[in-house]
Each structure stands twice: as C-alpha cells, then as structure tokens.
A and B are shown apart, each in its own frame.
Chain A
C-alpha cells in the first residue's frame, strides 16, 4: 500500500526506516574478492544440488 507519509521523507519517518539493513561489514563482504571467490564455489555447488535434485 502507499505509505501515509511523504514518500521521500528522510530519517525516522521514511518508509524504509524499519527495514533490515546490512552493516558495513556485510556490505564489504559482498564485494570482497577473496570471500566472493569462496562464495562463487559454494553457490555453484548449491545450485548444482538443486538442479540434480530437479532432474527426473
């Protein structure tokens, strides 16, 4: 639904003020090359598992 307050209000009344937000550490990990290389392998493995489970 449309929020009651002015859409682009900033601060405590803004629409996203109750949303979960990532910490700086989480944001840094998202583009950390070493960590993302590890995640690249892990995510691919997870996807392959789902693909294999889906083929009959």
Chain B
C-alpha cells in the first residue's frame, strides 16, 4: 500500500483530535499534514478565565510545531484558501492551496496534495456582521486568547475607575441576532460578576446580559429540561435564577444593529427598537465559514457544490428547507462525509448544520433573531475522532465511512464556570442527551431525562479545573493521552 496522505485544515479541537488519532492509528502508513493559520493550539473553554484576568494566554495556548514534530505530523502555518478536489489540468491529484502566515514566508503559496481531506477550520468570527462590533470596533470578545487578554485589560481599567468611585455599566452577551455560544457569554458574565465582588467593586457595577435567545437558558439548543425537586424544570428557570441571585439584569430576544462608542442599538423580535449604554461590552460575534473556495479541474468555481451559503461545508445532512415542526433528529449528519467528494470530510464547527436547534424566529422587519446551533468541545472532538476512524478504515479498504457521531445521537457534558476559587468558586455541571433533541425517541422533552442533568456547586469548579489540565495534557499528546475521553 502506498503511503496515504491525509490533510487536515485547522488545528482546533476537531482538527487536532483527528490529526492525533490518525497518526496514532496509522503510524508510518500515512502522512498526516495539518494546515493552520495560527502557530498555537488554544484550549478555548478556558479563554473565559483569561478574559477576567485569572489566567495568562500562555496557560491556555501552546505551540503546535514541537508537538507535531515529536509525533511526525507535518505542520504548515498557513491559511487554506482554495480546494482543488479534482486536481488541476492534466493531473487528477486533489490538492489544497494555502497561503503561508508564517513570518519569513508570509503570503507564500503552498500546494499540498491529499488522498483524504478533513475540513476542520472552525468558524470565521464575523464581527463585520454588526457595524462597530468587535475588538477593532467598540466591544470586546473572548473568542481567542489575545481577544480575551484585551478584555482582561479593559476590565482592569474599569475596576480602577470604580475604585475611584465611578459607576460602570457592563454589557455582556451576543452581538448579533444569529449568534451561537451563549454559554460562553453566560460564563463570562457570571465570572465577571464574581471578579468584581472579589475586587471589592461590585456595588459600583451595573451588569446586563444581552441575548438573542427567546428565553434565557435556550443556549442554542432549544433549552433543556431536568428533574429537580419533584418537577421537570426548564433551563430558563435555572438560568434566570443564577442571574437574579447575582443581581444581574437581562435583555432577551435582541439583535444588535450596531455599536457606537458606549452605545448599542437594538432591534427586538416584536419589532421594537431600543438601546443599551455601556462602559465595557463583551459581545460575541456570529460565526460563518472561513470562506474556502473550490475549483474543478478546468478552474471553474464549484464552491456551491461543497459549501452552504454560510460558508460551512455540506456533509451528509438533510439540507432540505422545512418548517420547525418537521425537523427530525435524522436531519443531522452522521459521517460528515461530503456528498460531492467521498474523500472530503468536515468536522467540528466547519460542517454546515441542517438547520438551527432552537425554534427559528424573525422580527416583523425580517431580521432573524434565533441562536445558531452550538458545537462545543466535546461534540467537536467526538466528530473529529469518528471522521479520523472512518478515514483509517477507508485507507484500509472500506468503501464507506465506518464511524458515526451524530449530534442527535450523542450527549454533551459541559461545565460552565460561575466563579473561580478553589473554596468559594462554583460551576454549573450539565449533561445533555442527546445534544440535538429527538422528539421521536423522547416525545415530551426531546431528551433522555436520565442523562440530562444540571447542578451548580464547588464540585463543578473542581471538575472545570480538572478538565482544563486534562484536555491540555491530551492536546499536548503526552504519555497515555488517548486514554482521556473526548
């Protein structure tokens, strides 16, 4: 058998997991290549703690090159731009075109051939969707470690002003009607409040949670139900309780139309308009695909064959447009194989979901105000591993992907920090099964209540710390890394 070439675009949770397992299973039988525009791995769930000044960026990031070198994985610090799945001109070998982002060779074009390709680029942070949104505009973000560091610096400055007696307004949440990752915004706001208390300035802060969710606790998953105190209780009750207990105000069903310095203009689901004023705003951007293009052998654009209009890659999902009532768990992809090219897969945030999970809603003006479906660390890693296993099998002769990881058949375990301290900190520990509700299997609530659970307490914080260290250990591919579950 000739040495197979597997190219992976992206070195986030999904891409890195795929690369690590492919190399472990295939050894010298395959050449595994990772292309990522950034030189570091970032354990994104811990960015929240960087954003409130508890961790430094180098505690949530590490350079990829030494690890890949140790494991004999080829690494190119470059941004993939064009896929050539049919090759070019007379040569039918598929390849990826990428542009170096490394100092010294910046902008240099690379052409990397592949037998199998995994698109795990993650999202483009689409700050431009809302005028004035983002670190280059008038708000902060915790989506990357450098962004989180900027947020921490701004927080320090706000605390200094409060210590001088000034009152400060904090606005935290989603910066567009179609945002996802409400969980991250929620973690940030409760950690922010905890920090302000720890720094003795809580009484000088007015803190508002701004969200595109129809109700608190939706989190882009249509909310969850858990058994507690003799009732099956929806997540909006617990989420509202967490905010109310901390004296935090909330604004729901909101799309941010634009930001000016200290001012956010809003449109609500009922068509009304409003505004929020702030001294510090941490607002998440919506996600889009990274804008990869695809060309056929003659050089004609075939991007639409591979990608949805959002820029995410089409896989084995049911993309037929249908009303909310007709959505099914079976709409969600299982193998993540491209229907256009069987040797291309997408993993993690890079695949195009068939539709949202939350009920779609829009304002009378037609503005969509609906959370996009979340794809957090655990499903991203599980998808990355399943795709890697399918490619492994196909290299050894399987005609079709052998492994599946549907978000409608897998659960998610999530720990959302609500304050970091080994004795007084807390975190919400949540498990959901399945991640995408399946109303055919679980008619009333869409989920298995024996495996869907939530609890807040210090134990959750200890688990969060444990997971931080375990997953960074695993990502560094140190001894016995593969025994740590996804």
Point out residues on A near B: beta carbons under 8 Å.
1-3, 7-8, 15-17, 19-22, 29-33, 35-37, 39-40, 43-44, 46-51, 53-56
CA distance A33 to B458 in the complex (A): 8
Q: Which B residues are CB-close (under 8 A) to A31?
A: 423-424, 426, 457-458
Q: CA–CA, A51 to B411, complex, Å?
A: 7
**Secondary structure at chain A's binding surface: helix, strand, loop or mixed?**
helix
Contact check, A29 vs B411: say whether CB atoms are below 8 A apart.
no
Contacts of B40 in A (CB 8 A): none
Structural contact, A43 and B458, CB atoms closer than 8 A: no
Q: A15-B250, A21-B244, A50-B431 are in contact. Are A43 and B426 (CB under 8 A)?
A: no
Closest to A30 in B: B457
Pair B250/A46 contact, Cβ less than 8 Å:
no
Which chain B residue shows the least CB distance to A8? B206
Quick check: A43 and B411 within 8 Å, CB to CB? no
Q: In the complex the two chains form, is A54's CB within 8 Å of B411's CB? A: yes
Cβ–Cβ < 8 Å partners of B29 in chain A: none
Residue of A nearest to B249 (CB): A7
**B313 contacts A by Cβ under 8 Å:** no
Cα A55 to Cα B382 in complex, Å, equals: 8
Give chain B residues whose Cβ lies under 8 Å from the Cβ of A39. Answer: 455, 457, 459
B241–A22 contact, CB under 8 A?
yes
Q: A15-B249, A15-B250, A22-B241 are in contact. Are A51 and B429 (CB under 8 A)?
A: no
**Taking chain B's interface residues, is the majority helix, strand, or loop, or is none over half, making it mixed?**
mixed
Q: CA–CA, A43 to B243, complex, Å?
A: 23
**Within 8 Å of chain A (Cβ to Cβ): is B308?**
no
**Bound form: Cα–Cα A37–B405 in Å:** 33
Query: Given A53-B433, A54-B382, A56-B403, does the pair A22, B245 have CB atoms closer than 8 Å?
Result: yes
Interchain CB contact under 8 A, B433 and A43: no
> For chains A and B in complex, what number of residue pairs have CB atoms within 8 angstroms?
115
Shortest Cβ distance from A27 into B: residue: B245
Bound-state CA distance A37–B29 (Å) is 46
Query: Which residues 235-252 of B sit at the A interface, judged by CB distance below 8 A?
Result: 237-238, 240-241, 243-245, 247-252
Question: Which residues from A are CB-within-8-Å of B457?
Answer: 29-31, 35-36, 39
Pairwise interchain contact A36-B459, C-beta atoms closer than 8 A? yes
In the bound complex, CA of A7 to CA of B243 (Å): 13
In angstroms, Cα B11 to Cα A45, docked, is 30
A45 → chain B, closest Cβ, in Å? 11
Is B253's CB within 8 Å of the partner chain A? yes
Query: At the interface, yes or no: B471 with Cβ under 8 Å from chain A?
Result: no
Docked-complex contact B409 and A56, CB < 8 angstroms: yes
- Across the interface, do B451 and A53 meet the contact criterion of CB distance under 8 Å? yes
Do A30 and B429 touch across chains, with their CB atoms under 8 A apart? no
Any A CB within 8 A of the CB of B111: no
> Residues of A contacting B272 with CB < 8 Å?
1
Chain A nearest CB, measured from B411 CB (Å): 4
Question: A35's closest neighbor in chain B, by CB?
Answer: B457
13 contacts between A and B (CB under 8 A): A1-B254, A7-B208, A15-B244, A19-B240, A21-B244, A36-B457, A36-B462, A44-B463, A46-B451, A51-B411, A54-B378, A54-B409, A56-B386
User: Are the C-beta atoms of B456 and A30 separated by less than 8 Å?
Assistant: yes
| Cβ of B410 under 8 Å from chain A | yes
Bound form: Cα–Cα A11–B333 in Å: 49
User: Across the interface, do B458 and A36 meet the contact criterion of CB distance under 8 Å?
Assistant: yes
Residue picked from A7, A16, A44, most chain B C-beta under 10 Å: A16
Query: B59 within 8 Å of A by Cβ?
Result: no
Point out the residues of chain B lying under 8 angstroms from A37, CB to CB.
459
Contact (Cβ within 8 A) A40 B459: yes
Most buried by B among A40, A46, A54: A54
